[in-house]
Structure 1
């Protein structure tokens, strides 16, 4: 009996981390019990937020800039009616020209904040003048697409598609998106004149903004697909032609052959602004822009030494992944001329690495990091990134959450809450776990069915995810086959389905 007790203690101490989270929902499974627990625990904290620990976190962004991230989290499952909440919230977002909504901008402008045409940054160096943001515009359509393809809700689509068209047409007509890359004429991107234009609200991006452009690429492809659902072939062809134009224009405008990466934005004078924006580069590749050659150069850049961190427990580090939970947001300190200090503390801007937007990190980056690498079949590299994040969370006594109001501003590794974007105000962190569903299990919804393109890491024999598709629960398991070794077996017991596919191929579930 003593030996059993000692063995139990050994396994607990060596295979269980400090994170006290419970698995409130268990949509994920794998041949590794440790990975499975860590993944479901992470989802319970950062996904559906049922595990509160000592926080009162809301799992939704519930604001236009978070629309796509919310949809990535909740479109594929129906737990706690979160999916319905997400769909309903899209109708609450004010759009000029809809339901009597007015503003300083033209029809089709989706307000920057749910109750304000501008971002709530009218303080500090901004005085009483708040900023306009524009990244919420393409994210709105991307969110609609996710909710529709997972639910097949035609009433929802027919009700909201005119809003999506109006918003997309604002990007096309008012921001010159018809020429390829949208142009932000409010913020010209020139350091002395510009203001923040996106969720990264201390970075003075503007004019031709890569982050807005790459999300617009997704929105154009998505709205083209949605137009085909309602039988509007003319609109479909128009939007798809713009997406194809943007694909090539993106490389022409933003790629820098010398640095081997995409710049953050190009200002009105044609100058690229580049502080090594990791989030832009990973997301561009994950969304289907660029090619293998460019992706390899980006991955190589991320593997090389970056500028040394100047603050905190990682002071002096040149490792892009020193935070472990995700890569740095930038590999260089954002230039002071490109930095907007409206929310800097009284003592001034923190040194490089001291804030999430310049050398710090945010968990949601891991989703795009994993998906970018899986696009070119770097499966084990991608899995190590996800696994390292989960291990980091598991080895913190508060699961890497912070609670400023209770004075809990540092994690067990000495990192503080403005260096690591994890829980509130970062509800989008939960999308990191969705890389397991979208990437490794390989399940994505399209207008004509489920597409399953699995990639199993070498260390796992099977992986599994449970989804709610068109109102039906499906348990999708992908297992390695012994013979032939180059194949997978996909099983969906609810459909009495078992089918073998070769590695690198996909299975389409076109009907239920």
Structure 2
């Protein structure tokens, strides 16, 4: 992975290139989603990740880019897909790219809502939860305006430089129709701020909450034949499975000392113990039980 990271890294621009052709020529049009996914999936080193995020957020400027600084978020709901004008490296299905203004195509200065998921997750990893929450708040403000304006199509019909792609029509913004990946954005609540990830033998919950949040709850999480409501707060994790804890599983939590309590439907304590979790892969062994609620408190 390190060799690939070195090969596709553009040290002058401080980001990953989109491709290298058969002649060894790299192509770099500032594909934000390529670099953001590289951070999210562990392809980028810490130094590379910081460089990427500083570029996308406008903390540093890449000379020669068409879009720089605050303009990278011109479309508000996501960073531009590319930040450098591209009239030479196009797919065969598009002709005459020079006749289309920058931002008029998704692949040339446009934006896709779904790509904000990797932006938010990368902000969590590099800048922390407060920064990610600030960015998510901006997306929520934009979405409220869109809803008040009658939805995507009606809202953007009144914005001269905006064109929506979808259903066979070319355009610069990916918001509906075939852009099903847009459902990724709210998943930041689950996989980002709650820190929930499925594992082969159980579930991992490593909360990463913004400082102003008292807690976070997500309902109806389908897991190991159980439908659970999960709540996290400062040093607390609670799982409620109305059908009971039907299966044993490993619950991976941050290291430390945890009290583990099982409650029945009436709130009666059925079992209680203390578990010391060590290391990044430490876990609590959750046993199948008639209990409907499992509560962990760190101390």
TM-score w.r.t. the length of structure 2 is 0.72
Q: Mark the runs of 5 or more structure 2 residues left unpaired by the alignment.
A: 165-170, 246-261, 264-271, 289-299
Q: Contact 2:149/2:155 (CA < 8 Å) preserved in 1?
A: no
Partner Cα distance (1:250, 1:353) in 2: 30
Structure with more strand by fraction: 2
Task: Give the distance between the partners of 2:150 and 2:200, measured in 1 at CA.
Answer: 37
The 1-side partners of 2:194 and 2:118 are apart by: 16
1:360 paired residue number: 110
Residue in structure 1 matched with residue 85 of structure 2 by the alignment: 333
1:453 and 1:505 in contact (8 A); partners too: no
Q: Structure 1 or 2: larger helix share?
A: 1
State the Cα deviation string for residues 112-143 of structure 1 (Å, max 9, x = none): xxxxxxxxxxxxxxxxxxxxxxxxxxxxxxxx
Gaps (5+ residues) in structure 1? 1-246, 310-315, 481-487
Q: Does 1:446 find its partner at 2:199?
A: yes
Equivalent-residue separation in structure 2 for 1:330 and 1:421 (angstroms)? 14
- In structure 1, C-alpha distance between the alignment counterparts of 2:116 and 2:187, rounded to whole Å: 10
**Deviation per residue, 1:40-96 (Å, 9 max, x gap):** xxxxxxxxxxxxxxxxxxxxxxxxxxxxxxxxxxxxxxxxxxxxxxxxxxxxxxxxx
Q: Which residues of 2 match residues 309-320 of structure 1 at below 5 A?
A: 319-320=71-72
SS in 2 for 1:396: helix
1:14 corresponds in structure 2 to: none
Q: Aligned pair in 2 of structure 1 residues 344, 271: CA closer, same or farther (>3 Å)?
A: closer
- Higher mean C-alpha deviation, range 255-264 or range 297-306: 297-306
Q: Is the Cα contact below 8 Å between 1:356 and 1:362 reproduced in 2?
A: yes
CA distance in 2, matches of 1:491, 1:275: 45
Pairwise CA RMSD: 3.1
User: Which residue of 64, 69, 76 corresponds with 1:324?
Assistant: 76
Query: TM-score of the superposition, structure 1-length normalised?
Result: 0.44
Residue pair 2:215, 2:231 contacting (<8 A) in 1 also: yes
Deviation per CA, 1:250-288: give whole Å up to 9, x if none: 212101111111111111111111011101000011011
Counterpart in the other structure of 2:236: 489
Q: What is the aligned counterpart of 1:389 among 133, 139, 148?
A: 139
Q: CA separation in 1, counterparts of 2:148 and 2:33?
A: 26
**Cα distance between partner residues in 2 of 1:464 and 1:500:** 24
Would the aligned equivalents of 1:324 and 1:388 in 2 still touch at CA under 8 Å?
yes
In the alignment, which residue of structure 1 is the partner of 2:167? none
Please report how far the alpha carbon of residue 409 of structure 1 lies from its aligned counterpart in structure 2 after TM superposition. Answer: 7.6
Distance across 2 between alignment mates of 1:269 and 1:308:
26
